[in-house]
Amino acid sequence: MTRITLLSIFLFIVVAIHAQDDVSFIQMEKDGRMTLTESGASHFANLALSCLQQEYPNKLNQVLSDANGLQEPKTLHPAFYGCFDWHSSVHGHWMLVKLLKKYPNLPEAAEIRKKLGENLTAENIRGEVDYFTNSSKSWERMYGWSWLMKLSEELFWWDDESGKQWSANLQPLTDVIIDRYMNFLPIQQYPVRTGVHPNTAFGLSFAWDYANATGHIELKTLIETRAKDYYLSDANCPADWEPSGEDFLSACLEEAGLMQRVLSEEAFRTWFEEFLPNDKLESLLIPADVSDRSDPKIVHLDGLNLSRAWCFYRIAQTTANPQLIEAAAQHLQATVPNIASEHYEGSHWLASFVIYALEVGR
C-alpha cells in the first residue's frame, strides 16, 4: 500500500468524522497515525464517567439459586456495578485507563482517577471474586471474561503508582478468569459463532492478548491450540448471512482477527484467502444501517460497525489490503458521529468500542 493511498484514506477519516456539534473527534499526526483529539477523548471519557457509578438501570443477568442473590447491584458487584451491566462496566474502566495513559492532562483526569480509585479497591475486587466463586460456570463467558483480561493487560504495563496498585488489586479476579479459561477450553468441543456476547473467537482474542503481553505461556499455548482446533479448517465463511439484526460482532471477521494473532503471517494469508475470498469479503465492506439508536438491540449494529473496523485494521496488518483500511474508515464514519449521550442504550458501552478500534488502527 502506498503512502499516498494511506494519506488519502486518513484524510477521508479526518474530514468525515465529527461530533454532532461539528467538533472533530479525530486528527492525523505527522507520521500518519490517527489519534483522538483531546475534545474527542473528553467526549468519550465523559460517557463512561457518567455511568461508571450509575447503579440503575441495571441488567444483572444472574441465575438465582436462593433469595440471597436478590441484592442491590452495588452489593453484588462492588467494583463493576455501573453502566447497565457487568461487562460494560468493565470495558468502561478499561477505556478510562487507556485514555488516562494516553492523555494524562485531560480536563477529566482527576475525576477519572477518583472514580477508578473508588471502584478498583482490593476490598471491592474481593467482592467480585466472591460473586464469581458462587456464580454459574457460564456467567459472562466469554465476553465479560475477555474484557476483564483487556483491563488487566492495560494496567499491567502502566508505569504509574495508582495504576500499579489497581493492577495488584485486580489480579485475584484476573486469576479467577484465567482459571475459567483453563478449565473451560479443554471441554469446549465446538466454538460459539454468534455475533453477540458468547462469541468464542472474540473471547479468545483478548485473552490471547493478555497472555502474550504478560508472558502467560500456558494460557497462550492453550488458546493457540484451541483456535486451530476450532477454525483452521474453515473456508468460505458465510459472510452474506451477516449482519443478523442484533449483532455487535462479526462472526467471520472476529474469527479472522483471532487467527491473525495465532498464525504466522504466511500461514494467515493462505488461510484468509480460503476463509474469506473476495466474493465473500465484499458483503462485509458495507457498514450496517442503524435504524433506531434508542432500541437496545438495534443499536448493537453501531457496535458491529466499530468491531468490524478493528478487525479490518488487524487483518490489514498482515494482508496489506488497502480495501480493508478504506472499509474501516467507512465503518467509523457511519458510527462515531452518532455516539452521544441521549440514548443510554448505546452510550453506556459504545465509547469503549471506538477507543479500541482507533487503538488497533493507529
Question: 191 preceded by cis ω (within 30°)?
Answer: no
Calpha distance 164→151 (Å, rounded): 13
Residue 163 has pLDDT above 90, yes or no: yes
pLDDT tens sequence across 341-350: 788 999 999 9
pLDDT tens sequence across 191-247: 999 999 999 999 999 999 999 999 999 999 999 999 999 999 999 999 999 999 999
Estimate to the nearest angstrom the gap between the alpha carbon of 60 and the chain centroid: 20
Residue 293 — pLDDT band, cuts 50, 70, 90?
Answer: very high
Calpha distance 330→326 (Å, rounded): 6
At residue 304's C-alpha, the angle toward residues 301 and 307, to 5°, is 155
Angle between helices 161-184 and 217-231 (to 10 degrees): 50
Calpha distance 332→129 (Å, rounded): 36
Calpha distance 129→38 (Å, rounded): 35
Output 11 or 179, whichever has higher pLDDT: 179
Calpha distance 139→134 (Å, rounded): 10
H runs (alpha helix) in the chain:
3-16, 38-49, 73-76, 86-102, 109-119, 122-134, 143-156, 161-184, 200-214, 217-231, 251-262, 265-275, 278-281, 300-319, 322-335, 344-347, 350-361
**Mean pLDDT computed over every residue of the chain:** 92
The tally of domains found in the chain comes to: 1
Average pLDDT, integer, range 73-96: 98
Nearest to 166 by CA among 130, 125, 128, 105: 125
Q: What is the span of the domain harbouring residue 187?
A: 3-361
C-alpha cell at 83: 453502566
One-character DSSP codes across 210-244: HHHHHT-HHHHHHHHHHHHHHHTT--S--GGGPPP
Contact predicate 34/333, CB 8 Å: no
Nearest to 97 by CA among 87, 109, 85: 109
Phi and psi, residue 57, nearest 5°: -65, 160
pTM for this one? 0.93
What is the CATH number for 280? 1.50.10
Tell me which of 7-21, 145-159, 231-245 is least confident: 7-21
Tell me the C-alpha to C-alpha distance, in Å, between residue 142 and each of 22, 54, 137, 147, 212: 37, 24, 11, 9, 18
Query: Is residue 18 classed as helix, strand or coil in its secondary structure?
Result: strand
Neighbour count for residue 37 (Cβ, 10 Å): 16
